[in-house]
Structure 1
Amino acid sequence: MRQLLVFEERDDAEEAAETVAEWHPWLGIPKVVRETLAGEDDAEAAQWLVVVEDPDDRLTREDLTRLDELAEQAGGWREQE
């Protein structure tokens, strides 16, 4: 399962990626990528994503709650793919 933590600021995304790697070293360091919002031409409308790959579905409900809280601290949110 893939979890996406969405942030407006790159610094927040990079900090969250480091935190996730500390909490769950078996996941490795999540990728930080920039995604432009659909229909937006303005570069300022881009979001920063922390891509948390969990191919074995090892993250528990409690882990997902912690990811939600981590994202929310910086005004972000979590999406599941």
Structure 2
Amino acid sequence: MLVLPDRDAAEEVAQALGERFGLDEEPRLLRDALAGEDDAEDAQWLVVLRDERGRLDPRELDEFAGEWEGWREEP
């Protein structure tokens, strides 16, 4: 799972993931409101991807997410 600061970044990341890493299935985008916050401006966006074959290198994903000021988290 990749955590991004806004929806635009999450959408760009989801598209670029397929291009760079050749994913088998399209990542899902989810809005993750920060605890106690109702304002959409304070939401993070999650890009959820499956890697059942273990082909994706966690360090590469960390660097990739960092290009959009995001980071990788284990589910």
Q: TM-score, normalised by structure 2?
A: 0.82
Moved over 4 A (4+): none
1:43 aligns with 2:40: yes
Matched residues, number: 75
Give identity over the alignment, percent: 49
8, 33, 36: which is aligned to 1:11? 8
Larger strand percent: 1
Residues 14 and 54 of structure 1: CA distance in aligned 2, closer, same or farther (over 3 Å): same
- The answer to which structure has the higher helix fraction is 1
Give the secondary structure class of the aligned counterpart of 1:6.
strand
- Unaligned residue ranges in structure 1 (runs of 5+): none
TM-score normalised to structure 1 length: 0.77
